Amino acid sequence: MSRTDLLRGTLDLLILRALALEPNHGLGVARRVGQLTQGAFQVNPGSLFPALHRLEQKGWLRSRWGVSATNRRAKYYELTAAGRRQLKAETDNWARVSIAIGRALAEGT
Amino acid sequence: MGPAGWLTFVRHLLRAVFAHERQERELSAEVHAYLEQLTDEYVAAGLPPADAARAARRSLGSISHVEDQVRDVRAGAWVGAIARDTRFAVRAMARRPGFTWLAVLTLGVGIGGTTAIFSVTDGVLFRPLPFPDADRLVAVWEVRPDLNRPRLEAAPLNYVDWAQRAESFDDLAAYFHDSMNLTESGTPERLPVAGVTPNFLSMLGVPPLLGRWFEAPDGAPGRVPATVLSYGLWQRRFGGDPAVVGRSIRLRDELHTVIGVMPRGFQFPHPRVQAWVPVDYVAGNGLQSRTLFALNVVGRLSPGVSVAAATTELRAIAGALALEYPGNRDSSAFAVSLQDDLAREGRTSFLLLLGAAGLVLLIACANVAGLLLTRGASRDAEFALRTALGASRMRLARQLLVEGLVLSGCGAVVGVLLASRLFGTLDTLVPESLQGTVSAALDLRVLAFGASAALVTGLVFCLVPLRHAFQRDLRTSLGARTMPRTVGRRLEALVTVEITLGVVVLFCTGLMLQTILNLEAADIGFERQGVLTARVELSQSEYPTPQRRLAFQRDLLERVEALPGVLSAGLTTMLPYSGAAIGSAPIRVEGRPDLLDLSRAVYLRAITPGYLPTLQVPVREGRNFSDQDMADSELVAIVSAGVAAALGGDLIGQRVAFGLGGSEWLRVVGVAGSVRFDGVDVADSRGALYVPAAQLAEAGPGLGFFLPRDVAVRTTGDPMTLAGALRQAVWQIDPNQSVADVRTLDELVDGQIAGRKVQAGLITAFGALGLFMTALGVYGLLSFTVVVRTREIGVRAALGASAGDLVRLVSRSSLLRLGIGLAAGLVLAFAAGRAMRSMIYGVEPLDWLSLSAAIAILGVAGCAAALLPVRRATRIDPAVVLRAE
């Protein structure tokens, strides 16, 4: 897996996770990801929008237009059933990978 | 991705293509909404609205960049990119209409020619015959080395033995061409029919449209004759009435029960055949002979049996028969795939024409590649600029490819249109045996071929500019005004290739033109001009006796000879080239010990005394027949010179017989000039044994087939002006008599070489095109070379180079390339000549005349094309050039 693939996979996972609780719009997703990672990930729009569209095309998200808390028209994304399954699978996978990597790194020290 | 995932993906793809605008609007709205929300956030954090908006913009970056990133991940992003490239290519083409027309027409002609030839070749050589399991169908031929023929129709009794003994075949059937008068519902008409064995139709496996196939008792002696009608005859004469099945119709004065109608499009063995009548040789019907080679045999191999295995078995059977029957000595047989057999006349010529068309297409490609290259060089600046602005090489390559494909696509459209104009002409190329079964037409396969030709040519002629684009150095392109060395070398290589191909195409043209001239001048043994011909088949019931027929014929000849403008008239069994030559058998000479060592077969032809003079076939020795050669006088014969020579000469006064027991002994009274019965280009054609029509009945009881039916009339003026009078003469004697095939003898001969003429015409067209394109290409490329070297030439001129020096400078490498091209062409021409061996006539495959002509013409054209640009080079004014710097 190349570096960009790794990053992209991580971003996708974080977006799915950010939408797990409730539907949200683009800026909301970016803020939620920031919250979830305690500020470690700042998602800029140049990565966010392509990722949202890609996930929608894969059938993991669907979108509709709605009105935001500040009374602005905005495009809201929400998880589909497939998206939830994907989130579950990716989360399990991530857990396995991070444990493995963590062990590998721990042994090195 | 699961099926649901695919569905979503396809939905998005469709949306990208068909709801593009809406998708774009939504994207823009989404990004703007993000911007507004961000602004709101900043305002909520306490910034003044104007500052908030600015901060939001700064944080977002470039809106169009964000949108672009989304576009890139969209399903079908490539569709949009290619659409953009295509629009760009079309705009670029529209900006240079001259270049575009030249390129599109060049490609159109190349693709059109290849596609047109492919459409016929495909039908003849590649597409399976229209029968179920056609790959199991074979033709079976008899071989008689003693008759000097590689393949012969089978003798009926040999066919019967093959059919009964061979186990390689599911079924072995046979047919022969015949014609019968139809005297039923309307005017009497002579129908071409096929006599077939009862298993013939079921063996081919095409079920009848109505009624049934022939079955075993059909065609046996004593049975009520049956017939199956063709779709065309059923529609034309019986109005498509289904009740025709079961009816009796009068064919050759016998009532035949119609038992079936074949579907439209079934036209085996020949499209002219209108009806099929059964002849059961196994049950003892038809010609029961081992020495008259009369049957075309076709069979269906048992599943899993190869053609080679069938041939091995046939050889073994023929070997056994040769021991059982002395007349079969040395006889053998072989099987060959039916498709190959039907196409054997055409195979080489089709492949060669396809090759010639392909060469022209290659020349066209080289030309367009050159055009693109010269244009590419002038576009260096554009590409360099775009590279500097961040376009990747892949991006530029994609654009070049799209441009190439758009060009070749337009070329293909022009080409397919051109090809469809040619289809009518091309049908004459289809060998006689496949006519009707195969026809040049626009169909999916042909379109697919045209499309792939366009794709391949597009890729081919893009390659050179593409490599060039990849190797360019940014700085030199932006700064320099001279052409890079690599472009020059590639252009010169293209010139070499064009000249090489040009030599080959012109050489083939030369061979074909000479072939046609030789065929036109071939000594066919008679004078083809000024003779009217027609076929008058007398009906058996109204003219049952030889006396009745003779009376009719004498009456007809008298009336015709009395017509103004008629020099002479005669009758014969069958005129040369009036159809496939049939009716040949070995000739025997009385008293020769080697009775059965038959050196040659001859055609038996019953003629009237006026026939040989009418065709101007000379009587070399002895005498012509006269009115004194009557039924009650001695049986006489005339042999053709080739036969006389083969039998050792000096035949006059000796007695000969036709076939084994086929005829009485006939006294040879004359030797006539040889006629090429087997074809205009067959110098060693089988010869003829002529007998007087008046003595035919006495010469042999089984010779009814040889009744004269063809009339030949020599006239002073245009023969066709007498066509009406000839018909009237027949109808004055008998108004119910059919008169068919009224045409000139010249047309009959022409029909023999029509296919070759079309071939020659096409090759000549390809040759002319190839020459023109090559000259154009050479001219264009050299002009370009001079243009890009203008500065260098100017500087040299300023430094004192003479006009001669400049000419040498510019032309040295062009002439070298010309020379290399001509030499390479010479070598390839030798190979092409060998490949053409079976198509040419009267000219050597390595004909020096064609070769030197090809080289001379291309050399001159090449030099001329080089001269104009060179002249321009010598006129360059150094002052002007240097001032422009």
The per-residue pLDDT for range B748-781, each reduced to its tens digit, is 888 877 777 777 787 888 888 888 888 877 777 7
| Chain A residues within an 8 Å CB radius of B69 | 46-47, 49-50
Q: Do B29 and A73 touch (CB under 8 A)?
A: yes
Residue-wise DSSP of B680-744:
TT-TT--EEEEEEGGGHHHH-TT-GGG---EEEEEESS-GGGGHHHHHHHHHHH-TT---EEEEE
Least confident of B29-33, B291-295, B512-516, B690-694: B291-295
| Chain B residues within an 8 Å CB radius of A58 | 1, 5, 8-9
The predicted structure's pLDDT at residue A108: 57
In the predicted model, is pLDDT for residue B625 greater than 90?
yes
B523 and chain A: CB distance < 8 Å anywhere? no
Q: Do B5 and A58 touch (CB under 8 A)?
A: yes
In the block, residue with structure tokens 């569709």:
B79
Q: How far apart are CA B839 and CA B514, in angstroms?
A: 11
Is the Cβ–Cβ distance between B615 and B712 less than 8 Å? yes
The rounded radius of gyration (Å) of the Cα atoms in chain B is: 37
Q: Which residue of B has its CA nearest to A31?
A: B38
In the predicted model, is pLDDT for residue B472 greater than 90?
no
In the block, residue with structure tokens 């996770």:
A17
Residue-wise DSSP of B428-491:
GGS-GGGBTTB-----HHHHHHHHHHHHHHHHHHHHHHHHHHHH--HHHHHH--SPPHHHHHHH
In the predicted model, is pLDDT for residue B309 greater than 90?
yes
Q: Do A45 and B70 touch (CB under 8 A)?
A: no
Strands of the A24-25 sheet, one edge to the other: A24-25, A73-79, A61-67
Chain B: closest CA distance from residue A104 (Å): 32
One-letter identity of residue B176: F
Token digits for B367?
A: 């030309």
In the predicted model, is pLDDT for residue A49 greater than 60?
yes
In the predicted model, is pLDDT for residue B1 greater than 80?
no
The mean pLDDT of chain B is: 82
* pLDDT category of residue B710 using cuts at 50, 70 and 90: very high
**Among A25, A46, A59, whose Cβ lies nearest the Cβ of B65?**
A46
Residues 55..84 of B with a Cβ closer than 8 Å to A: which? 60-61, 65-66, 69-70, 72-75
Q: Do A49 and B33 touch (CB under 8 A)?
A: no
Q: How far apart are CA A18 and CA A27, in angstroms?
A: 11
All structural domains of chain A: 3-108 (1.10.10.10)
Is the Cβ–Cβ distance between B438 and B430 less than 8 Å? yes
For chain B, give every domain's residue range.
3-75, 134-343, 347-521+751-884, 538-737
In the predicted model, is pLDDT for residue A4 greater than 50?
no
The predicted structure's pLDDT at residue A38: 85
Residues 281..340 of B with a Cβ closer than 8 Å to A: which? none
In the predicted model, is pLDDT for residue A2 greater than 70?
no
Secondary structure class of B600 (helix, strand, coil)? coil
| Chain A residues within an 8 Å CB radius of B65 | 46
B41 and chain A: CB distance < 8 Å anywhere? yes
In the predicted model, is pLDDT for residue B359 greater than 90?
no
Q: Do A45 and B31 touch (CB under 8 A)?
A: yes
Residues 2..31 of B with a Cβ closer than 8 Å to A: which? 4-5, 7-9, 12, 26, 29-31
* pLDDT category of residue B86 using cuts at 50, 70 and 90: confident
A57 and chain B: CB distance < 8 Å anywhere? yes
| pTM score over 0.80 | no
Q: How far apart are CA B413 and CA B419, in angstroms?
A: 10
B753-758, long-range: CB < 8 A, 24+ apart: B753/B516, B753/B519, B753/B520, B753/B680, B754/B428, B755/B349, B755/B428, B755/B429, B755/B431, B756/B512, B756/B515, B756/B516, B756/B519, B756/B839, B756/B841, B757/B516, B758/B425, B758/B426, B758/B428, B758/B429
Least confident of B34-38, B560-564, B679-683, B823-827: B679-683
Q: Do B70 and A53 touch (CB under 8 A)?
A: yes
**Among A26, A47, A57, whose Cβ lies nearest the Cβ of B30?**
A26
Strand ranges (DSSP E) for B104-223? 137-144, 149-152, 169-182, 189-196, 210-211
Tell how strand B636-640 and strand B619-622 pair up: unpaired
The predicted structure's pLDDT at residue B475: 47
Chain A: closest CA distance from residue B34 (Å): 6
**Among B1, B8, B40, whose Cβ lies nearest the Cβ of A72?**
B40
Report which of residues B434 and B278 the model is more confident about.
Answer: B278
The predicted structure's pLDDT at residue B638: 95
Q: Which residue of B has its CA nearest to A77?
A: B30
Q: What is the mean pLDDT of residues A72-81?
A: 90
Which residue, among B589, B595, B605, has the nearest Cα to B648 in the 3D structure? B589
The mean pLDDT of chain A is: 84
Q: How far apart are CA B673 and CA B653, in angstroms?
A: 18
The DSSP bridge partners found for residue B149 are B144
Is the Cβ–Cβ distance between B333 and B154 less than 8 Å? yes
Q: Do A57 and B41 touch (CB under 8 A)?
A: no
Which residue, among B564, B563, B556, has the nearest Cα to B537 in the 3D structure? B556
Q: Do B30 and A72 touch (CB under 8 A)?
A: no
Token digits for B212?
A: 């049934």
CA dihedral B70, B74, B77, B80 (to 10 degrees): -80
In the predicted model, is pLDDT for residue B253 greater than 70?
yes
| Chain A residues within an 8 Å CB radius of B41 | 27
Which residue, among B651, B661, B671, has the nearest Cα to B592 in the 3D structure? B651
Q: What is the mean pLDDT of residues B601-614?
A: 91
Q: How far apart are CA B858 and CA B135, in angstroms?
A: 46
In the predicted model, is pLDDT for residue B440 greater than 80?
no
Report which of residues B336 and A42 the model is more confident about.
Answer: B336
The predicted structure's pLDDT at residue B136: 92
**Among A46, A59, A82, whose Cβ lies nearest the Cβ of B66?**
A46
The DSSP bridge partners found for residue B640 are B672
Q: Do A58 and B9 touch (CB under 8 A)?
A: yes
Q: Do B33 and A59 touch (CB under 8 A)?
A: no
A46 and chain B: CB distance < 8 Å anywhere? yes
The predicted structure's pLDDT at residue B113: 83
Least confident of A61-70, B315-324, B812-821: B812-821
Which residue, among B726, B732, B717, B728, has the nearest Cα to B567 in the 3D structure? B717
Q: Do B26 and A44 touch (CB under 8 A)?
A: no
* CB neighbour list of residue A6: distance below 8 Å, 6 or more residues apart: none
The predicted structure's pLDDT at residue B228: 93
Burial of B879 (0-12, 13-18, 19+ CB in 10 A): exposed
Count of other CB atoms within 10 angstroms of residue B390: 7
Q: Which residue of A has its CA nearest to B6?
A: A58
Q: Which residue of A has its CA nearest to B23?
A: A53
Chain B: closest CA distance from residue A52 (Å): 9
Mutate which: B24, B66, B74, vs A, most A CBs within 10 A: B66
Report which of residues B232 and B423 the model is more confident about.
Answer: B232
In the predicted model, is pLDDT for residue B597 greater than 60?
no
Residue-wise DSSP of B4-69:
HHHHHHHHHHHHHHHSHHHHHHHHHHHHHHHHHHHHHHHHHTT--HHHHHHHHHHHH--HHHHHHH
Q: Which residue of A has its CA nearest to B15?
A: A57
Secondary structure class of B14 (helix, strand, coil)? helix
Q: How far apart are CA B152 and CA B294, in angstroms?
A: 8
**Residues counted in chain B:** 885
Q: How far apart are CA B774 and CA B499, in angstroms?
A: 6
The predicted structure's pLDDT at residue B780: 75
Residue-wise DSSP of A48-88:
HHHHHHHHHHTTSEEEEEEE-TTS-EEEEEEE-HHHHHHHH
Residues 73..102 of A with a Cβ closer than 8 Å to B: which? 73-75, 82
Mutate which: B6, B17, B69, B71, vs A, most A CBs within 10 A: B69
| Chain A residues within an 8 Å CB radius of B33 | 25-26, 68, 72-75
Q: How far apart are CA B883 and CA B885, in angstroms?
A: 5
The predicted structure's pLDDT at residue B487: 63
**Residues counted in chain A:** 109
The predicted structure's pLDDT at residue B682: 81
One-letter identity of residue B473: D
Chain A: closest CA distance from residue B2 (Å): 10
Cβ contacts from A onto B, under 8 A: 72
Q: Please name the helix (run of DSSP H) or strand (run of DSSP E) that holds residue B784, with its range, or none.
A: helix B745-788
| Chain B residues within an 8 Å CB radius of A84 | none
One-letter identity of residue B167: E
Q: How far apart are CA B457 and CA B451, in angstroms?
A: 10
A26 and chain B: CB distance < 8 Å anywhere? yes
| Chain B residues within an 8 Å CB radius of A53 | 70, 73-74
